[in-house]
Amino acid sequence: MNSISTFFTAAVLFSGTTVFVQAQSNTTAPQQPSSVHRKLPKRSATPSIEAQIQQMREDLQSQIDELKAKLAAKDEQIEALKTQTLNTQQTTATASTRIHDIDSTLRQNITVVDGLQTSVTDLRERDVAVSNSVQQVRDNQKALQKSIDEPVALRYKGMTITPGGFLAGESIWRQRAMNDDIYTAFSTTPYMNSGEAHTSEWVPSARATRLSTLFSGKAPFGTVSGFFEGDFLSAGITSNNLQSNSYTLRVRQAWGQATFGHIKFTGGQMWTLLTEDKKTTDPGSEWAPLIFDQNLHVGDTYLRQAGFRLQNSFTPKLTLAMALENSQYQFSASNASSNFFFGNPGALGGLNNSSANYTNQVAPDVLVKASYEPGFGHYEIGGVVRFFRDRYYPGATTAVGAQNDTRVGGGFVANARFPVAPRVEMGLHVVAGDGTGRYGVSLLPDITVRPNGTLSPLRNAQGLFSLEYHPTKKLDIFGYAGSEYVQRTFYISNSGTLVGYAPPNANNTGCNVEAVPTAGTGFAPGASPCLGATRDISQFSGGWVYSIYNGPAGKLQYGAAYSYLNRDGWSGVGGAPKAINNFVYTSFRYYIP
């Protein structure tokens, strides 16, 4: 509408201006007389100004009407669009409301479905829990019934009693006879001067049969336990192999233990602390070669003797232990005078064997060991201090000036056992020091004597390499290599005599000469003169053990092994003697479940 008014106003102004200009020109222009009279053409009649203005108004009005009509049409279109938009908005609002209602319904349905799913899940979990509980009850019933039918231990008052051990049927064949039964005294394997070195022997035996019982129970301060183990590797005056192998029961282990948290105190007869353990330093956790010889294997370290042990497990990986143990001496000397003593045979009427010698111990052996288990194998390091005492007589033929002399010896131990491949385990064991020979299986000497009657510890060393392969749960395959050494130690007396262990002027002339029997009894093989002091002993072995059955009724196993033994002597007059022996073992055992 504004554009039409503007247009109309402009038109009026334009028309007015035109009329004004024409009127002004008609009024003010002077009339000039014509000097030349000529005849002008006749002009047509011109519309009047009013007529022109009227025409213009009509034209403008027509245009205005046309514009109004167009504007009205546009207004109608706009109104129609507004109505359509409003209808669309109303439709959209209605649709939005419906969508919102549908969404709310869906959300409610989802909530209901989630609740149903949660309920179903809860029901399933409860069903699983109930099933597990039922299965647990069934398992407990089976375990209870099994504990009744197949108890692993017996109950007596507040104690748990666990029987153990095995029954053994075993044999050993030796290339050179030693008369040792199933126990081999390795340091006595004969040189060729002995008639025994020229004949073999096969010895079947059941004497390795072992019976044991473990007692344990709770106490106000912790736990108490006790262990007894015995076998038949001893002989009484009536023991023989003619009518019955009626050998006497001997004590292998007999100890009691009190546990206070991570501290343990043990007293009694047990394996020495220098023996390698499988875990920590607990009595009963010792590692032993799988071979069937009851003296185990050259290079191994063991004694079973009375002692007292205190141990502390500072962490699950680290254990420290200290022990005080029996300290009998193993003595050897050549050309020694009679100006000293350090023991005596067992007293008649006493509890010691009157045919065996016992040393007068000045103090116990003091042992310490640390056990470490980092998660890859088992490692140990420790040591022993030993005290040797004798009473010596400087005057030899008189007690004037007699006095006691005490010498200190000792050494260290190091053990490592770790896996080197799947189901393959390697072990390394070393003991070395002065006066440690007795701790090895060969029982090499600890001490010798000087010409003046004082004692002198001997330098010893022993080591064992082991390799064990466990291809299945039933089969074990093993290989061992061990050696023990004792150093030559001698002194020169005032008279020029060489006194001590393995003097170089020792008589070895007959070490390789077989002697004739010394009596007609059939039990007196001869032996030519030969000192043959042992320098070192080595043993190499291999074998296997197979478990036929292992279950509630116990365990049945059998196995076999072979060993090569080498004994080298110190050189003397006639050279350095050498002895070898070959052993073949068989074993059949039934273990008490």
| pLDDT tens per residue, range 134-175 | 788 888 877 767 666 666 778 888 899 999 999 999 999 999
Residue 205 lies in a domain: no
Q: Are residues 135 and 250 in the same domain?
A: no
Query: Mutual orientation of helices 49-149 and 2-28 as an angle, nearest 10°?
Result: 160
pLDDT band at 86 (very low <50, low <70, confident <90, very high): confident
Residue of 488, 493, 517 lying closest to 504 (CA atoms): 488
Q: Are residues 122 and 250 in the same domain?
A: no
In a domain, 314, yes or no: yes
Asked if residue 289 is part of any domain, the answer here is yes
User: Which of 99, 128, 149 is the last residue before a domain boundary?
Assistant: 149
Mean pLDDT of 399-425: 96
Residue with tokens 């979990």: 125
Task: Specify the amino acid at residue 186.
Answer: F
Q: In whole numbers, what is the pLDDT of the chain averaged over residues?
A: 88
Q: Does 68 reside within a domain?
A: no
Distance CA 278, CA 288 (A): 9
Q: What is the mean pLDDT of residues 330-355?
A: 93
Domain count, the chain: 2
145, 277: one domain = no
Q: Which of 225, 228, 195 is nearest to 211 (CA)?
A: 228
Distances (CA, A) of 455 to 388, 442, 495: 7, 21, 19
At residue 446, the pLDDT reads: 97
Token digits for 442? 């060969």
Cα–Cα dist 385/436, whole Å: 9
Residue with tokens 């090569």: 564
Burial group, residue 589, by CB count within 10 angstroms (0-12, 13-18, 19+): buried
Looking at residue 50, what is its pLDDT? 80
Within 13 Å, how many C-alpha atoms sit on residue 495's CB side?
Answer: 7
Reported pTM: 0.76
Give the domain-ending residue among 118, 149, 180: 149
Confidence of residue 2 (pLDDT cuts 50, 70, 90): very low
- The domain in which residue 114 lies consists of 74-149
Query: Is 219 inside any structural domain?
Result: no
Instruction: Find the angle CA(501)-CA(507)-CA(511) to the nearest 5 degrees.
Output: 105
338 and 479 assigned to the same domain:
yes
CB 583 within 8 A of CB 518: no
Examine residue 100 and state whether it is found in any structural domain, yes or no: yes
Specify the 3-state DSSP secondary structure of 429: strand
Question: Which one-letter amino acid corresponds to residue 193?
Answer: N
Distance CA 446, CA 456 (A): 9
In a domain, 159, yes or no: no
**CA–CA distances in Å: residue 302 to residues 170, 272, 415, 440:** 22, 6, 13, 6
Determine how many CB atoms are found less than 10 A away from the CB of residue 254. 15
Q: Does residue 27 carry a pLDDT above 70?
A: no
In a domain, 388, yes or no: yes
**pLDDT, tens only, 426-480:** 999 999 999 999 999 999 999 999 999 999 999 999 999 999 999 999 999 999 9
pLDDT at 88 over 90: no
* Token pair in block for residue 268: 């009694």
Average pLDDT on 329-349 reads 94
Q: What is the DSSP letter of 440?
A: B
Q: Are 158 and 578 in contact (CB under 8 A)?
A: no
What is the Cα–Cα distance from 345 to 348, expressed in whole angstroms?
A: 9
Of 149, 171, 192, the one marking the end of a domain is 149
Q: Are residues 141 and 250 in the same domain?
A: no
- The verdict on 128 and 250 lying in the same domain is no
